[in-house]
Structure 1
């Protein structure tokens, strides 16, 4: 078991180390490293019965009276400062007037600071890490001028898998989810099944919640990014995240882009009203790293399309209705 744990920990840690068009965006200036241009990046702590986590909160200098909030879950071995620097999300958020929260996984919860996406106690509503993150989200909403209809969650790798678990557990709280190099919700129940899912995808994931909580009654709008050469989390997992997003019955349209940097294919799935409710970005030649990220943060690939901008654009098109879903 110790050998298996070691394999999973090594596998869960990513192996790789702008505002503009998300199809291709150069890195913003180094001066914007974590806090963005203007705004504040503050350290806070959230505590509740399910547990306690520290987090960083980016507060834009000129937020709307009812501003959006994005919760960003880092990958293994990362921390909020590193993740903010690598994604460049705060720079974009300052310009758009968006709050961004970066919960920090504790070493007490996981030695490598991975979110425990594969533990059943951390996959469902009302307990474990989903309850902590949901509580943290609500605490920010209570303290700042946040629009409750425009709250989103996203993450990388273990953070991407956790973000999907949490979004599906709380579809009344999060209007959309971004999954970068992650895995389907409830696709594992322990370390062994986690390692298997990472290598080849979850077995028999036509029923993707076999190990996890029941699927929400309605679709959670989802944007997916995955490198086709990802050696840590197989790209098959992106297919399974796509299946969980209920793309069957939607109308897809794919576009392939080539030129400077990694070529990639973006597929948008529209519902009967013509609204894009799922986006799937596959980046050829990219491994396990944040696409279009900045080199002053870890686990990024500056040669890919700008995932941060693409997620902001996607989130801007989705909001919760009075009943808690679009």
Structure 2
């Protein structure tokens, strides 16, 4: 650990003691950007909580612990009340386990009146969120009622990540048959079997760290997921440790690693100061495989630009929505959940429309 880094940690500690977590966070991020500590892979700060616990210097570890305590003390209590259930619907809770590990989850099962489910959507929450919070904020359960869908909400373990973030930045969680992708894909396959989901009608969507993991699943399990919804997320292998993750979140970094095309719908606010909007362009660029059409419009209180790539048969295989004035929040979401913005286009409804308009795959 360099002298400059130690000095930065002392100044950050002073900011913490004075009750100023924002400046402490900036000090830590600046020190990490200069490469002052080796082996640092998972710092915890209020403004960049996409990371978990790792072997880090004692000074940094102690400062982050105090900073995390101060941040939590200023956070409002989470609303853990259950969303209302229509008659006949269920919002079940269970645990899925496989060789790579286990995760709790919630599954929304609408009253299908004996009809088969028309599809499955896996919804991956963002940092500091939970399945219940995410379900309420996105309103996806109501869309499941309307369209006959099953929705599964995996819960990130606090043991795997202290801030409940999916570990999208770690190489061990970016590949098939390993780590979190294997657990999540295994859960999706279980839901497919249990609810007789039609072949090719399983999709994955997420917010922030959840969106980054959704992109990973779309790249590593194309046999399980037929489409991806990425809201305020990052492209495939945008980072390989915490330092590169900070860089990608802050600036979008270079063009993402070449990825296999999979139908993808992207939402990103142009005022997002947590995950730079350039990341949305990189995700969309990896999915775009042909001529694009662009349109401008208004929805709610916000304007947007939508770029679409059409297949030779005329259906969209990529949509990229850039929302004017939207920060790091789910567009068109409900205030009952965290990280939502009710003023923009309804991202949930647009994702469901995009997914269900995709052609059925042959078995």
Q: TM-score range by the shorter chain?
A: 0.7 to 0.9
TM-score by length of 2: 0.77
Instruction: Compute the displacement of 1:145 (Å).
Output: 2.4
Deviation at 1:312, TM superposition (A): 0.2
State the alpha-carbon separation in 1 of the partners of residues 116 and 231 from structure 2. Answer: 30
**Cα distance in 1, alignment partners of residues 85 and 227 from structure 2:** 24
User: Comparing 255-264 with 159-168, which one deviates more in the overlay?
Assistant: 255-264
Aligned ranges 1:162-311 → 2 under 5 Å: 162-203=213-254, 205=255, 208-209=257-258, 215-216=259-260, 219-245=261-287, 247-248=288-289, 250-258=290-298, 260-311=300-351
**Highest relative contact order (Cα 8 Å, sep 6+), 1 or 2?**
1
1:114 partner SS: coil
For 2:161 and 2:84, how far apart are their aligned partners in 1? 24
5 Å matches for 1:42-121? 42-62=92-112, 64-121=115-172
1:160 aligns with 2:211: yes
Using a 3 Å threshold, how does the CA distance of structure 1 residues 99 and 194 change in structure 2: closer, same or farther?
Answer: same
Equivalent-residue separation in structure 2 for 1:310 and 1:259 (angstroms): 12
- What is the alpha-carbon distance in structure 1 between the residues aligned to residue 186 and residue 292 of structure 2? 35
Please report how far the alpha carbon of residue 259 of structure 1 lies from its aligned counterpart in structure 2 after TM superposition: 6.4
Show structure 2 runs of 5+ residues with no match: 2-8, 10-27, 33-41, 51-74
Determine whether 1:10 maps to 2:47. Answer: yes
User: In structure 2, what is the Cα distance between the partners aligned to 1:259 and 1:310?
Assistant: 12
**Does the 8 Å contact 1:150/1:319 carry over to 2?**
no
| Distance of 2:299 and 2:352 partners within structure 1 | 23
Runs of at least 5 residues in structure 1 that lack an aligned partner in the other structure: 18-30, 210-214
Q: How far apart are the structure 2 equivalents of 1:39 and 1:48?
A: 28
The alignment partner of 2:302 has SS state of: coil
The one-character-per-residue Cα deviations of 1:268-314 (angstroms, maximum 9, x if unpaired) are 21122222110111100000000000000000000010000000000
Deviations 1:119-163 (A, max 9, x none): 000011010000000000111112112112200000000000000
Partner of residue 193, structure 2: 142
Give the distance between the partners of 1:320 and 1:119, measured in 2 at CA. Answer: 33
1:7 deviation in Å?
A: 5.7
Larger Rg: 2
Would the aligned equivalents of 2:117 and 2:150 in 1 still touch at CA under 8 Å? no
Contact 2:118 2:147 in 1 (8 A): no
- Aligned equivalents of 1:115 and 1:320: distance in 2? 29
SS of residue paired to 2:325: coil
Q: How many residue pairs are counted as aligned between the two chains? A: 297
**SS of alignment partner, residue 277 of structure 1:** strand
Where 2:249 maps in the other structure, the secondary structure is helix
SS for the counterpart of 1:115 is coil
Distance 1:8 1:160, change over 3 A: farther
CA contact (8 A) 1:8 1:195 kept: no
Q: Is the 8 A contact 1:233 1:288 kept in 2?
A: yes
Q: Give the distance between the partners of 1:259 and 1:123, measured in 2 at CA.
A: 35
User: Could you say if the C-alpha distance between residues 282 and 229 of structure 1 is closer, same or farther in structure 2, counting changes exceeding 3 Å?
Assistant: same
SS in 2 for 1:224: strand
